[in-house]
Amino acid sequence: MAKCDQGYLCQICGEEVKGITQSDLYLRYVIGMVDPELLHLQPERHIRCNPSLAQFIDDPDFKRIEVSQEFEMSSLDPDFVKQKTALISRGYRRLKALRKTDLPITEYPLPEFLDRHRSEE
């Protein structure tokens, strides 16, 4: 396969990130962790290849991931875990919804992050 025929490759495992629901980059973008102006400069990864973020996804379509490091959810503040789980799970659900739309990329972020970027313009 020609390089131009491949999708984005995961910085961690080297495999192709085949869809938006596998994309750590787009998950981080929709939850406000990546500025829209810098999106094209960020490396791509599979969500599962970033376990410190993936562990917070609580969705029936996402197989739970365990982190065996100091950043494991069980070693973190319960309120922080609750907030992070709510945000990242909403972001994952947003990615699932985006598969079925033709929204421009500037409209991908969750509403609270859309508003923040609009106010910076």
Q: Quick one: pLDDT at residue 67?
A: 84
pLDDT tens per residue across span 47-65? 999 999 999 999 999 999 8
Q: Residue 105: what are its φ and ψ, rounded to 5°?
A: -55, -30
Helices (H) and strands (E) in the chain, counts: 4, 0
Tell me the torsion sign for CA atoms 7, 10, 16, 21. negative
Q: Quick one: pLDDT at residue 1?
A: 35
| pLDDT band per the 50, 70, 90 thresholds, residue 70 | confident
| pLDDT band per the 50, 70, 90 thresholds, residue 71 | confident
pLDDT tens per residue across span 90-113? 999 999 999 999 999 999 999 999
Helix, strand, coil percentages for the chain (3-state, nearest 5):
50, 5, 45
DSSP label of 42 = S
Q: How far, CA to CA in Å, does 47 sit from each of 11, 57, 77?
A: 11, 10, 23
Average pLDDT over residues 29-38: 94
Nearest Cα to Cα of residue 29 among 93, 109, 97: 109
The pTM (predicted TM-score) of the whole model is 0.88
| pLDDT band per the 50, 70, 90 thresholds, residue 120 | low
Is the pLDDT at 88 greater than 50, yes or no? yes
Rounded CA-CA distance 116/2 in Å is 39
Rounded CA-CA distance 47/28 in Å is 9
